[in-house]
Amino acid sequence: MSKHHVSTTINGEPVEFLCETQQTLLDALRDELQLTGSKEGCSSGDCGACSVIVDGRLVCSCLMLAVEAEGRRIETIEGLAQGERLHPVQKHFLEAAALQCGFCTPGLLVAAKALLDRNPSPTETEARYWLAGNLCRCTGYDKVIRAVMDAAAEIRGE
């Protein structure tokens, strides 16, 4: 079985990789590109640990085939910080202690960024519904939501 050649953009960099037909984007990120920040929690799109942004849209990378990445623009957790400068959601997750084990954290951060990219003034309810696709079993979401609201305020310059 021959592999597919895929040209795509990941975190602003042009990237090429080879993948098998059945491999998901998550498989390609983790196994072919060693971008292991995206996590596999369920492989069925229910937990959000593998969240990435594809052409501005939040998706579960376990539900997208790797070959579908051709020509797309993909953002992963590894691209969220600019060098040593953390994105406001990362900074506020740390300050608010919004992570315990940290496994769901990359997915939550990518999802939160996707929210704030389109809506820098979410209500608490909007934030809760937007993040409803990202399971966290440790925190009870309290500090996660507070961190997202704090990050939104910083992005708005408040």
Cα–Cα distances in angstroms (integers) from residue 133 to residues 32, 60, 95, in the given order: 26, 9, 23
Looking at 17, 61, 66, 106, which residue binds other proteins (CB under 8 A)? 106
H helix count then E strand count, the chain: 5, 5
By beta-carbon proximity to other proteins, the closer residue of 42 and 155 is: 42
Q: Using the rule CB under 8 A, is 129 a contact of other proteins?
A: yes
Query: Which residues in the 20-49 window bind other proteins by CB under 8 A?
Result: 20, 22, 30-31, 34-44, 46-47, 49
Rounded to a whole number, what is the largest CA-CA distance in the chain? 55
113 part of the interface to other proteins, by CB under 8 A = no
Give the SS3 label for residue 151.
helix
Backbone CA torsion sign across 56, 10, 51, 121 = negative
Interaction of residue 94 with other proteins, rule CB under 8 A: yes
Distance CA 56, CA 9 (A): 13
Contacts of residue 86, defined as CB under 8 A and 6 or more positions apart, other chains included, come to: 80, 94
Cα–Cα distance measured from residue 13 to residue 45, given in angstroms and rounded to the nearest whole number: 26
Q: Per rule CB under 8 A, is residue 144 in the interface with other proteins?
A: yes
- Among 69, 136, 151, 152, interactor with other proteins by CB under 8 A: 136
Q: Which stretch binds other proteins (CB under 8 A): 2-10, 63-71, 114-122, 134-142?
A: 134-142
Using the rule CB under 8 A, which residue among 67, 77, 151, 152 binds other proteins? 77
User: Does residue 18 bind other proteins (CB under 8 A)?
Assistant: no
Binding site for other proteins (CB under 8 A): 20, 22, 30-31, 34-44, 46-47, 49, 76-78, 80-81, 86, 90, 93-97, 99-106, 109, 125, 127-129, 131-146
